[in-house]
Amino acid sequence: MIDHDGFRPNVGIILTNRDRRLFWGRRVGQNAWQFPQGGINDNETPEQAMYRELEEEVGLQSLQVTILGCTRGWLRYHLPKRYIRRHCGPTCIGQKQVWFMLRVDCGEDAFCLDSTDRPEFDAWRWVRYWQPLHEVVYFKRHVYQQALEELAPILYPDGIPRRDDYFSGVADFLRHRHP
The tens digit of pLDDT for each residue in 55-78 reads: 999 999 999 999 999 999 999 999
pLDDT band with cut points at 50, 70 and 90 for residue 104: very high
Taking the domain 7-155, which CATH number applies? Answer: 3.90.79.10
pLDDT at 83: 67
Query: Per-domain residue ranges for the chain?
Result: 7-155
Q: Global pTM?
A: 0.88
Do 163 and 133 form a contact (C-beta atoms < 8 A)? yes
Nearest to 108 by CA among 128, 125, 127: 125
